[in-house]
Amino acid sequence: MKEIIIWNDKYLTGIEIIDSQHKNIFKCVNNLFDAIEKLEIKEELLEKIRCIDFYTTEHFDTEEKYMLELNYPGYLEHKKTHEEFKKVYEEIRYNYVYKKDTVYVLAVHLNHTMADWLDYHLQNEDRRLAEFLRKYKY
């Protein structure tokens, strides 16, 4: 299977549930990339996109719950990065679902957006959050 983003220890937070969710998101993103490479039909690609939807929603909810419970001082900024990502992601996904002539271009755009965002967010925002959470033995 071809991968667009490869899991690496640099992404580890040391918080089991968050690391597990990150790995699931990577798997979904890579499955979408592989499906694009194989020129799978739109319905198959949508199935891969639903996987990304599920795991990113679950993950954002988990992080935001922990941040609120522990009064994380960077909560508003971190949540804002989630909201900005959701906005871009939803726009691309909407165009993918409803525009018939650019299906693969939009799927590729979605996939690259996910990979780039994950790489940056995990190494920066999530690393700071994890350092804070580890103080509370998460």
Domain boundaries, the chain: 14-134
Using CA of residue 9, residue 117, residue 20, residue 59, what is the dihedral sign? positive
| pLDDT surpassing 80 at residue 1 | no
Distance separating alpha carbons of residues 15 and 33, to the nearest angstrom = 27
pTM of the model: 0.86
- What is the per-residue DSSP string for 66-81? HHHHTT-TTHHHHHHH
**Mean pLDDT on 102-115:** 75
What amino acid occupies position 80? K
Do 72 and 78 contact (CB within 8 A), yes or no?
yes
Residue 19, pLDDT score: 96
Residue 97, pLDDT score: 67
Question: Rounded to whole angstroms, what are the CA distances from 18 to 96, 104, 110?
Answer: 28, 31, 22
Residue 101, pLDDT score: 57
Taking residue 33's Cβ as centre, other Cβ atoms within 10 Å add up to 23
Q: What confidence category does residue 86 fall into, taking pLDDT thresholds of 50, 70 and 90?
A: confident
User: What would you measure as the largest C-alpha separation in the chain, in angstroms?
Assistant: 50
Closest CA to 128 of 77, 80, 87, 88: 77
Class of domain 14-134 (CATH, top level): mainly alpha
| pLDDT surpassing 70 at residue 83 | yes
Q: What confidence category does residue 50 fall into, taking pLDDT thresholds of 50, 70 and 90?
A: confident
